[in-house]
Structure 1
Amino acid sequence: MCGLAGVLLARADRPQAELAGLAACMGSQLRLRGPDDAGVWAEAGAGIALAHQRLSILDLSAAGHQPMPSTDSRYVVAYNGEIYNFASLRKELSALGHGFRGHSDTEVLLAAVVEWGIEAALTRFNGMFAIALWDRQQACLWLARDRVGKKPLYYGWAGADLVFGSELKALWQHPAFDNDVNRDALTLLLRLDYIPAPHCIHQHAFKLMPGSLLRLDAADVQRGPQAHDPYRDQRRFWCARSRMQQAIANGFAGDAVEAEQQLDGLLRDAVGARMVADVPVGVFLSGGTDSSLVTALMQSQSAPPVRSFTIGFQGSHHDEAQTARQVATHLGTAHTELYVSGADALAVVPTLPSMFDEPFADSSQVPTALLCRLARQQVTVALSGDGGDELFYGYTRYQRAVRNWSSLQRVPTHLRRWLARRMPYSGEAARAGGLAAVLAEVDARGIGDVYRNRISRWRDPSAAVPGAVEPWSIYRDAEPLAMPGHEHEAMMLADFMAYLPDDLLCKVDRTSMAVSLEARCPLLDWRVAEFAWSLPMDFKYRDGTSKYLLKNVLRRYLPDDLVDRSKQGFGAPVGDWLQADLKEWADDLLEPATLARQGYLDADRVGGLLRQFRQGQRKWHTHLWNLLMFQAWLQHWRQVRAAVNNGVA
C-alpha cells in the first residue's frame, strides 16, 4: 500500500527543481501511507510531476521504487494498491516478450499498459488500486481507480494548476489551493455521514469514482474546473449497475448446493490471493459472519496459525470480543484481543480530522482506528470481511424498506400524493417516528425513495446549510437498479456504489493507512461480487435469515452455534460522549456566534437541536456528530492552510 500525489501545470513554466520540490512536498504529507521509501519524478518541459510514498509489501528491494518508468520509457506511473493476479499476468506478458527486473506488481502494471493500452489493461487487473500514469508520447495524464473503490484518488484545481493525490492533505500543500467549502457537498455529509464520489468537500475538487478512468492534458487543465463535468469526463471501465443488470438477466442456473460449492471456491481463491505478501499478514476478526468466514478460509490455507485481532469495549453492549475469541479458538488462530476503555476511544477523536482529511462521521471510525493500531503491532497486512452485507442482503434496513414500500403500494398513487400535499411533514420530525415518519414516505416514487429515508441522518440537510442545493447521488434515484421487481437488489446496488466505497472502505483505508497497515477485502473480489449478483434472492435471504448462502459456506468451517448469531454493531457511544466527556468540545465547536460568523451552518437550527439533545428530548446525537465532524475538520483545514501560506508546513 502506498500514497501518490502530483501536479500538472496549465503552462509548463516552472523550473525542474521547483516542480519536483512541490511534488515532493505533496508526497511527504502521505508518509504514513508509505514510510519505507519515497520518490519524485518531474518533467519540467511537460509541466508534470509525480510523487510516491511506498509501503513495501511485494518485492521489498529497490526494484519496486516508484515513480517507475516503463521499459520503453513512454509511461511513468505512481501507483497505490495491489494487483492480486500479477503473477499470471506476468507469465502471459513474459510469453509476449516483456522483460522484468524485479518481482513487483508495478512492473507488471506498466508492461500490461504497454502491451494492451490503459483501458484494456485495467479490465485485466484483479485488485485494489489508484493509478496516476503519465503518457510522455501523448503528453496526457491518466487517473484510474479500482472497480469497487478500495483505494482513494482526489483531483482538483489549485489556481490554474491541476493537483491530485491519495488524500486531500497532499493537495493542500499547493500554495494556490484555497478552494472554499462546497456547500452543496456539505448537505451530502449531513444526510449520509460521508460525501460520495465524485463530490468533494472543496469547490473545484473531485473524487474519482470507482471503476473509472480519467484522461487530462494541459488543455483540459487550462479550461479549468468550470469546464469539467465528472459524470461526463470520468469514463467507467467497469460499471456496477450494468454488471448487476447483466448478472440478474443471465442468472445462476444451479441449486443452492451448487451455489454454495462455487461460492466456497471463489472465496478460497480470493482469500488465498490476498494472503500473498513478503511481510506478515493477519486478519480482523469481529466474530460476525463475514470476518469469521475470511478467517476460516485463511486458516484452512495456512500451516502456521493465522494472526487474528479483535477489539473489545469495557462495559459496552456492542462488544463482540467473546464471540471472536470462541471463533479463534475453534479455528486455532493466534488470537490477540485488547479491551479498551472509553478514555482510549476518546483519545482518538482529536486525531480524526487529520486522519480523514475530509469530514467523515461514521462513528465506527473510532474503534476501527483502535483495531488497526492493535494489528499493526504484529502485521503489515490485514484482511477484513467488508462487503458481505452489501452483496448478500445483510442489513435489517433492507427488510424494513421493502415492507414499507409494499405497504405504500397498496394505497393508490393519487391518494398518496394528495396526502403528501395536504399533510406535509417537517424535515427532521420524521426521525422521531410516528405520523411524521409515515408521511415522509407517502409520495415515494419507488424503493429508492423509501430506502433513502432508511439511511438518512438529516432528512432535509439543505435547510441546515444556507444557500445549498443537495447534489445528485444514487440515493436520489427512485429505482437505483432500473429493473422493476428487483427492489432488494436495488438497495444493495445503491449501497455497493456509495455507502461501501465512500463510507466503509474509506474508513478502513484512512484508519489503516494512519498506522501504515494495508487492509485487503477478499469478499469484494469483483468475481465474487458478480457471482453474488447472479444468485436468486432466495439464496441470500430465506426464512428470516440474512446472508443465507454465506452462512452455509461458513458452516463448513464452524459449528452452528458460532454461525447462528444475531448481527451486532461496531460503533461508539457518541450520545454518551456528547453529554459528558465531549460536552465542552461540542459546545465550543457549535457555539452560535462561531457558526454565524462562519456562515456554513444555520446557527438557529443547529442550536435548537443541541438544546433538545441536552434536555434529553430527542436522540439527536447522530445529527450532531456529523456537524461536529465538519466543524472539527474545518478548524483543522484552516490551520493547515495557514501553515502552508506562512511557509511552515
Structure 2
Amino acid sequence: MCGIAGIIHTEGLKPVDPERVRRMCDAIAHRGPDGEGVWTAPGVGLGHRRLSIIDLAGSPQPMLAAEGDAAIVFNGEIYNYRELRGDLIALGATFRTDGDTEVILQAWRHWGVDCLPRLHGMFAFALHDLRQRTTLLARDRFGVKPLFTARLADGAVIFGSELKALLAHPSLRREIDPLAVEDYLAWGYVPDHRSILKGVQKLAAGHYQLLRADAPPSPPVQWWDVSFADRATGSRQDLEAHLLHHMREAVTSRMLADVPLGAFLSGGVDSSSVVALMAEASTAPVKTCSIGFDVAALDETAYADRIAAQYGTQHWKRTVSPEDFSLVDRLAAMFDEPFADASALPTFRVCELAREHVTVALSGDGADEAFAGYRRQTFQHREEQARGLLPSALRKPVFGTMGRLWPKADWAPRPLRARTTLLSLAGSGEEGYARALAVTSADLRDTLYTPDFMSLRGEYRAEQPLMELMRKAPARSGLDRAQYADLKFYMPGDILTKVDRTSMAVSLEAREPLLDHRLVEFGARLPERMRVRGSTGKWLMKQTMRRYLPQDVLFRPKMGFVTPIAQWLRGPLAAEARGLAASGSLAATGWFNSTRIDALAEAHMTGRADHSRLIWQLLMLRKSLDRLG
C-alpha cells in the first residue's frame, strides 16, 4: 500500500518542480514510510510514498518501463499479477522486477485501457505514456483506493491519494462547496460525486480518465459496473458450492504478501468467515485482532474469542474506553473532509493494534453490500413487496396521510416506527431507501440552515443523486437497486473511506476479500430468496458457512462498531457541543441557524432528547472546516 501524488500539465509541456511534487508526497508520508521517489519529464511530475508489501527491495516507484517510454505511480495490490505476467511474457514483454507495478506498465503497453478489466485487485494509479504524451488515471472497481484530482488556474491537473496531498499545492483554492455540506449533513460523509472543496473531484470507482498534453482533460470513463439484471439458476446446493469456491479464491488470493499478514476479527459473520477460510488455507496460525468496549452491551469480544479458539489463531484484543474521545482531533486530521461515522474511532484502534503485529490485515467488509446483510435492505425488500400491492396513485394519499398523522417516534427501533414506514410506503422505492440511508432527514436539515445557505443550495437536495443512481441501476427489483446503491454510493463514500484512512494512518494495508469482483458479481446474480428470507439477510452465505461457524455467530443480530458519543457529548465533549454554531468556522460561513443548533444541543445535554448523531456531525464538520480554513 502506498500514497501517490503528481502534477500533469494539459496546456503545454511546462516544467514541473520536483520539490513541489515532493511536498505533496510528504503530506501523505504515513501511507508509505518505507520509501519515496519523484520523477519528472516535460509537463509531468509523479511522486510516490511506499509501504513495502511484495518484492520488498525490487519495485521502487515511480517506475519506468524497461523500454523507457512509460512511467507509473501505483497505490494498491494486483492479486493476479503473476498470471498476467505469464500472459505478457508470452506476448514478448520483459521484466526486471518480481512485483505487480511493472505488470501494470507492460499491460498498458500491450493492451492500452483494455488492461483495466484484466487487473484483479484494489488500485489507484497514474501512468504517463511518453510516446502518446498521455496520462492515464485509474481507480479500482469498488473504489477501495482513493484518488483526488483538481484542475488549477494554469491548466495543470494535480492528483493525490488524499486531499491533504492536494492541499500541499499552493495554487489550490480552498473554497467550501455548500452542496458538499448538504451532502455531508444528509449522509455523514461527503460522497464520491462531490468534494468539500469546490474544484476538487474524486475519480469515481470503476472509472479512468485520460489527460493529454495540449488538450482539456477528457471526462472520466466508466470501465466496470456491477449488474443485478440477470439471475443465476441451479439448486441451493449448487449455488452454495459456487459461493464457497468464490470465497475461498477471494481469501487465498489476498493472503499473498512478503510481510506479516493477519485479519481483523469482530466475531461477526463476515470477519469470522474470512478468518475461517484463512485458517483452512494456512499452515501457520492466523494472526487476529479484535477491539472491545467497556460497555458490556456493545462488546462482541466473547464471540471473537470463540472463533479465535476454534481456529487456533494468535489473537490480540484491546478495549476502547470512554477516554478515547481524545482522538477526535486526530480523526478530523485523518479524513480531511468532514466524516461523522463514529465507528472510525474503534476502526482506527483495531488498525493500530493490528499494526503492532502485522503489515497487512484482511477485513470482512463488503459482504453486507454484496449479499444483502443490512437490516435496511431487508426492510426495503418487504416495503417494495408492499408497494407492489397498491398503485402509486392510491399509496401516496393513503399512506402519506396516515404517516403525517401518526405520532413521531424516532427513539423507537425501526420496526416500531410506524410513521417512518408509512411515509416510506407513500413514496417510491428510491425515496424510501434514501430516507432509510440518510442520517439527517431533509426536513431536519432545512431547520439548520440560514436563508443565505438555502439560496446557495437552490433546488438541490442530497437525496437526488442517490435516487437517480437507483433509477438507472442495471437491476430487476427494489432489493437489487438498494444493494446497487450501497455498492456504488454508500460503500466507497463511507466504509472504504473509513478503512483506508484509519489503516493508512498507521501504515497498515487493509484488504477486503469479500469485495473480490467475481464474488460480488456472483452475489448480484443470486435470486432474491437466496439473499433474503424473512428478516434474515445474507441467507445463502450463512447457509454456506454453517460448516465453519457456530449457529449463534451466524444468526445473532448484527451489531457493528458502536461508540458512546451520546455520553461523551454530555460529558467530556459537552463544552465543545455548547455554542457549536455560534462561533468559529461554522459561524463564519453564515450558513447555520445557531439558535436552532444551540437548542438541539441543550436538549441533548439535559437528557430531554438524543441528538448525539447530529451534534457529532456538526462537531466533525467544524473541526474539518477549521483545518481547511
> TM-score, normalization: structure 1?
0.89
CA shift, 1:283, in A, is: 0.2
Q: Deviations over 1:80-118 (max 9, x none)?
A: 00000001011111111111111110011111111111x
Give the one of 7, 19, 22 matched to 2:20: 22
- What corresponds to 1:305 in structure 2? 285
Q: Tell me the distance in 1 between the aligned counterparts of 2:51 and 2:391.
A: 59
Give the one of 131, 144, 155 matched to 2:149: 155
Q: Tell me the distance in 2 between the aligned counterparts of 1:429 and 1:70.
A: 63
Matches within 5 A, 1:78-93: 78-93=73-88
CA shift, 1:244, in A, is: 2.6
* Counterpart contact for 2:134–2:211, Cα < 8 Å: yes
SS in 2 for 1:297: helix
Give the one of 228, 235, 240 matched to 1:244: 228
Stretch deviating more after TM superposition (522-531 or 559-568)? 559-568
Matches within 5 A, 1:203-282: 203-220=198-215, 233-240=219-226, 243-245=227-229, 248=230, 251-282=231-262
- The answer on 1:381 being equivalent to 2:360 is yes
Q: Using a 3 Å threshold, how does the CA distance of structure 1 residues 576 and 280 change in structure 2: closer, same or farther?
A: same
- What corresponds to 2:562 in structure 1? 571
* Counterpart contact for 2:360–2:510, Cα < 8 Å: yes
Q: Tell me the distance in 1 between the aligned counterparts of 2:205 and 2:509.
A: 19
Matches within 5 A, 1:601-612: 601-612=592-603
SS in 2 for 1:121: helix
Stretch deviating more after TM superposition (415-424 or 363-372)? 415-424
Q: Using a 3 Å threshold, how does the CA distance of structure 1 residues 559 and 441 change in structure 2: closer, same or farther?
A: closer
Give the one of 480, 483, 487 matched to 1:492: 483
Give the one of 294, 297, 307 matched to 1:317: 297
- What corresponds to 1:454 in structure 2? 436
Q: Tell me the distance in 1 between the aligned counterparts of 2:476 and 2:517.
A: 24
Give the one of 264, 269, 280 matched to 1:289: 269
Q: Tell me the distance in 2 between the aligned counterparts of 1:484 and 1:81.
A: 30
Q: Tell me the distance in 1 between the aligned counterparts of 2:431 and 2:63.
A: 47
- The answer on 1:349 being equivalent to 2:345 is no
CA shift, 1:558, in A, is: 2.6
Q: Tell me the distance in 2 between the aligned counterparts of 1:583 and 1:569.
A: 25
- What corresponds to 1:550 in structure 2? 541
Q: Using a 3 Å threshold, how does the CA distance of structure 1 residues 159 and 291 change in structure 2: closer, same or farther?
A: same
Q: Tell me the distance in 2 between the aligned counterparts of 1:82 and 1:115.
A: 20
* Counterpart contact for 1:158–1:174, Cα < 8 Å: no
Stretch deviating more after TM superposition (150-159 or 276-285)? 150-159
- What corresponds to 1:114 in structure 2? 109
- What corresponds to 2:614 in structure 1? 623
SS in 2 for 1:200: coil
Q: Tell me the distance in 2 between the aligned counterparts of 1:270 and 1:327.
A: 20
- Amino acid in the other structure paired with 1:115: H
Matches within 5 A, 1:406-425: 406-418=385-397
Give the one of 613, 623, 628 matched to 1:632: 623
CA shift, 1:14, in A, is: 5.6
- What corresponds to 1:52 in structure 2? 48
Q: Using a 3 Å threshold, how does the CA distance of structure 1 residues 106 and 257 change in structure 2: closer, same or farther?
A: same
Q: Tell me the distance in 1 between the aligned counterparts of 2:90 and 2:579.
A: 64
Q: Tell me the distance in 1 between the aligned counterparts of 2:589 and 2:474.
A: 44
- What corresponds to 2:448 in structure 1? 464
- Amino acid in the other structure paired with 1:113: W
Q: Tell me the distance in 2 between the aligned counterparts of 1:257 and 1:473.
A: 41
Matches within 5 A, 1:574-589: 574-587=565-578, 589=580
Q: Tell me the distance in 1 between the aligned counterparts of 2:70 and 2:102.
A: 11
SS in 1 for 2:358: coil
- What corresponds to 1:178 in structure 2? 173
* Counterpart contact for 2:340–2:616, Cα < 8 Å: yes
CA shift, 1:173, in A, is: 0.9
Q: Tell me the distance in 1 between the aligned counterparts of 2:607 and 2:395.
A: 34
CA shift, 1:473, in A, is: 5.5
- Amino acid in the other structure paired with 2:228: M
- Amino acid in the other structure paired with 1:572: T
* Counterpart contact for 1:449–1:477, Cα < 8 Å: no
CA shift, 1:472, in A, is: 6.6
Q: Using a 3 Å threshold, how does the CA distance of structure 1 residues 637 and 482 change in structure 2: closer, same or farther?
A: closer
CA shift, 1:149, in A, is: 0.8
Stretch deviating more after TM superposition (567-576 or 551-560)? 551-560
Q: Tell me the distance in 1 between the aligned counterparts of 2:6 and 2:92.
A: 32
SS in 1 for 2:281: coil
SS in 2 for 1:300: helix
Matches within 5 A, 1:93-172: 93-117=88-112, 119-160=113-154, 161-172=156-167
CA shift, 1:545, in A, is: 2.6
> TM-score, normalization: structure 2?
0.92
CA shift, 1:624, in A, is: 1.6
CA shift, 1:260, in A, is: 1.0
SS in 1 for 2:7: strand
Q: Tell me the distance in 2 between the aligned counterparts of 1:591 and 1:554.
A: 53
- Amino acid in the other structure paired with 1:437: T
Q: Deviations over 1:592-641 (max 9, x none)?
A: 57633322333233233223323433322112221111111111222xxx
Give the one of 353, 360, 364 matched to 2:339: 360
Q: Tell me the distance in 2 between the aligned counterparts of 1:202 and 1:124.
A: 34
- What corresponds to 2:467 in structure 1? 476
Q: Using a 3 Å threshold, how does the CA distance of structure 1 residues 629 and 322 change in structure 2: closer, same or farther?
A: same
Give the length in aligned residue pairs: 614
Q: Using a 3 Å threshold, how does the CA distance of structure 1 residues 383 and 484 change in structure 2: closer, same or farther?
A: closer
Q: Using a 3 Å threshold, how does the CA distance of structure 1 residues 91 and 575 change in structure 2: closer, same or farther?
A: same
Give the one of 176, 196, 202 matched to 2:191: 196
Q: Tell me the distance in 2 between the aligned counterparts of 1:15 and 1:397.
A: 52
* Counterpart contact for 1:140–1:216, Cα < 8 Å: yes
- What corresponds to 1:39 in structure 2? 37
Q: Tell me the distance in 2 between the aligned counterparts of 1:105 and 1:411.
A: 55
- Amino acid in the other structure paired with 1:6: G
CA shift, 1:73, in A, is: 2.1
- What corresponds to 1:641 in structure 2? none
Gaps of at least 5 residues in structure 2 are none
Q: Tell me the distance in 1 between the aligned counterparts of 2:139 and 2:94.
A: 26
SS in 2 for 1:374: helix
Q: Tell me the distance in 2 between the aligned counterparts of 1:318 and 1:295.
A: 22
* Counterpart contact for 2:135–2:212, Cα < 8 Å: yes
Q: Tell me the distance in 2 between the aligned counterparts of 1:473 and 1:132.
A: 31
**How large is the RMSD of aligned CA atoms in angstroms?**
2.4
Q: Tell me the distance in 2 between the aligned counterparts of 1:398 and 1:298.
A: 29
* Counterpart contact for 1:595–1:602, Cα < 8 Å: no
CA shift, 1:307, in A, is: 0.2
Q: Tell me the distance in 1 between the aligned counterparts of 2:73 and 2:400.
A: 54
- The answer on 1:507 being equivalent to 2:505 is no
Q: Tell me the distance in 1 between the aligned counterparts of 2:474 and 2:40.
A: 48
Gaps of at least 5 residues in structure 1 are 639-649
